[in-house]
Structure 1
Amino acid sequence: MNRRVLILGMGGHFGSVAARAFRAAGWNVDRYHRGTDMAVAARGVRWIINAMNPPNYHDWAHQIPQITSQVLSAARDSGASVMVPANVYVYGREPSPWRADTPHHPCSRKGRIRAKMEERYREHAAEGRSVVFLRAGDFVNPESPDTLLNRVVLKNVRKGRITAMGKPEAQRVYADLADLTQVAVSLADTADSLPGLLDLGYPGTRFSFREMADELAGQLGREIAIKRFPWTALLLASPVWELARELREMRYLYDMDHRIDGTDFEALFPDFEPKTLQRLVFEHLYMRGMKVVPDHGAKMSTQTSL
């Protein structure tokens, strides 16, 4: 059985962790180098994992369709199946829980770009080709300083506070990348046995900034305050700072309760248990060199999955 996979965007959040997970599972992992011929890179691979985004959040409207065209052309030429780590931007303000049949009503520029991208993959799947959308909420990874959780929310945790990017009580869905990429590896083993589209929602771990602050307080044994993110300052910066504009477009997601329906996922992975909020908090503190109070230390092993 062919166990070669081509990963696009291996330097990014999903791609880097996915490469590690596939290698650990015995797959041969090829890295795509941006700007080279993707069709040549895809020769002989079983899967193309498209985790590639425009560098530095630049020019999504032009680059995402271009990347999509390259992936679809390479998949047709090589016969490879395609897996895409999909997000929830396409749903806009549609009430959750979000499922594969939830209408796509994006309310942001990025959401509309992603919805058009997904439609092209759906058309590709309708031709009898295997396509997987592994759909998840915000990525978290205790190892990466560049996730929003590390870069913004937990930036000042040593000073006894976190930064809430929206309503502190809003419950949102998150995907630990070690968990999510294990799912990707499992899907790669079997999901191409039947052609067509698999749009699989990953329920992940759901919590609010308030619940995170409470869990941090319990593990650290001291009060953790919640500070609101300065969206007004970001608004002033967004005309000249692309990352600021990208964040501002997604502000609505931080103020609304949402979750991904796990029915289809649980049918495929009945024994899979995503990390709990307690575990996620512990791992993030551990990677920062911050000790938890003894009772929490007894409950959580220092043997992390990192």
Structure 2
Amino acid sequence: MSTNKRALVLGASGGIGGEVARQLRDAGWQVRGLKRGLESLTEQRDGITWIRGDAMARNDVLSAARGCQVIVHAVNPPGYRHWGQRVLPMVDNTIAAAIAERATIVLPGTVYNYGPDAFPLIAEEAPQHPASRKGGIRVQMEQRLRDATAQGARAIVVRAGDFFGPRAGNSWFSQGLVKPGQPVKKILLPGKAGVGHQWAYLPDVARTMVALLDRRDALAPFARFHMTGYWDADGTRMAQAIRAVARRHGQHPVVSAFPWWLTWALAPFVPTLRELREMRYLWNAPVRLDGRQLAAVLGEEPHTPLEQAVEATLAGMGCIPPAIGMSSSPAHAA
């Protein structure tokens, strides 16, 4: 294992952060994760060094990042609580650490930066006129990363569609389409009939980030890439894949429309539903990220077959039994 590749992953206990941390580890990186509530200052677990600290505390981030060439910023407030108040201070702490270490920041991005004027096919340089509060904050995050490159930091932003995967946590897949922890009885479709939607499998996103990090010295100081992921052209392909996998396990789910009226009724009391409602506009029109620039750099975007990815996701959510020896890392993906 190489001893000079060190990465700090903020959000390593979460979905995308955890996946990137594991894949960096498997690629020979020394990986650190910042975690609140550890009994000791550091802890070794699963090949990752866990350091007690809080992404909201700048000194904790500066200390944990010491000697690192890469900082993965995949941290979010749990359950969307105080999202607007915490997101920018956390990214500012990451930027301070990256400037101090002259490190590369990796940020998992979204389509939230863009408004309807950029639809339906969005290139990296498309104008950013977000249609939501979260989108506005996303634009600010990326602008701060860009500004930090003038002070010695570097940044890679990988934007992708809606995440899903065995450990995806808060996601449309696990909070909108199916219910975790129980057999798949119903699949809810949030979009309008015939409206395309884009999805991204977390292990593929993580593999993409690791591959870009291997090429980071050849990239622009502020580099942005869009992933193609899975394009669900009529908005039903994901539901069909879920139903096909569920049927192989003796389950026979029905497909129904997502109850948007419920988000209006409960949004004042449930932060997650409030966030889902704010993003409804992304289900009302086809929104697709153009992945040609990424393919030009990598040669080919990592891509796990859809039903294989769905099966791993449903097993990770406890909806179907896990396959013997199944891993979330798509080592044999096509």
What's the TM-score once normalised by structure 1's chain length?
0.87
Q: How far 1:140 sits from its partner (Å)?
A: 0.7
Q: How far 1:177 sits from its partner (Å)?
A: 0.8
Distance 1:195 1:40, change over 3 A: farther
Query: 5 Å matches for 1:98-247?
Result: 98-127=122-151, 129-144=153-168, 146-155=170-179, 158=183, 160-194=185-219, 196-207=221-232, 208-219=234-245, 220=247, 224-247=253-276
Q: How far 1:53 sits from its partner (Å)?
A: 1.2
Q: How far 1:92 sits from its partner (Å)?
A: 2.0
Answer yes or no: is 1:9 the counterpart of 2:35.
no
Query: 5 Å matches for 1:55-66?
Result: 55-66=78-89
Name the SS for the 1:192 alignment partner. helix
Which consecutive segments of 4 or more residues in structure 1 shift more than 6 A?
A: none
Deviation readout 1:190-249 (Å, 9 max, x if unpaired): 213455111011111111542233334445278653212222121122223221211111
- For 1:159 and 1:6, locate their aligned partners in 2 and report how far apart those are by CA, in whole Å: 37
In percent, how many aligned pairs have the same letter? 30
Is 1:164–1:229's contact at 8 Å kept on the other side of the alignment? yes
Unaligned runs of 5+ in 1: 292-300
- From the two aligned structures, give the one with the greater helix fraction: 1
1:253 is aligned, of 268, 277, 282, to: 282
Q: How far 1:252 sits from its partner (Å)?
A: 1.0
1:119 is matched by which residue type in structure 2?
Answer: Q
Partner of 1:265 in structure 2?
294
- For 1:107 and 1:153, locate their aligned partners in 2 and report how far apart those are by CA, in whole Å: 23
Name the SS for the 1:45 alignment partner. coil
Q: How far 1:154 sits from its partner (Å)?
A: 2.3
Partner of 2:37 in structure 1?
none
1:238 is matched by which residue type in structure 2?
Answer: A
Deviation readout 1:102-143 (Å, 9 max, x if unpaired): 110100011111111111111122455321001111111034
Is 1:163–1:229's contact at 8 Å kept on the other side of the alignment? yes
Partner of 1:283 in structure 2?
312
Partner of 1:26 in structure 2?
28
- For 1:187 and 1:116, locate their aligned partners in 2 and report how far apart those are by CA, in whole Å: 23
Is 2:124–2:224's contact at 8 Å kept on the other side of the alignment? yes
Q: How far 1:101 sits from its partner (Å)?
A: 0.9
1:100 is matched by which residue type in structure 2?
Answer: E
Is 2:176–2:188's contact at 8 Å kept on the other side of the alignment? yes
Answer yes or no: is 1:70 the counterpart of 2:99.
no
Is 1:205–1:275's contact at 8 Å kept on the other side of the alignment? no
Is 1:142–1:150's contact at 8 Å kept on the other side of the alignment? no
- For 2:193 and 2:252, locate their aligned partners in 1 and report how far apart those are by CA, in whole Å: 16
- For 1:289 and 1:229, locate their aligned partners in 2 and report how far apart those are by CA, in whole Å: 19
Answer yes or no: is 1:95 the counterpart of 2:119.
yes
1:179 is matched by which residue type in structure 2?
Answer: D
2:84 is matched by which residue type in structure 1?
Answer: A
Name the SS for the 2:288 alignment partner. coil
Is 1:214–1:224's contact at 8 Å kept on the other side of the alignment? no
Aligned length, in residue pairs: 297
- For 1:126 and 1:98, locate their aligned partners in 2 and report how far apart those are by CA, in whole Å: 27
1:88 is matched by which residue type in structure 2?
Answer: V
What's the TM-score once normalised by structure 2's chain length?
0.80
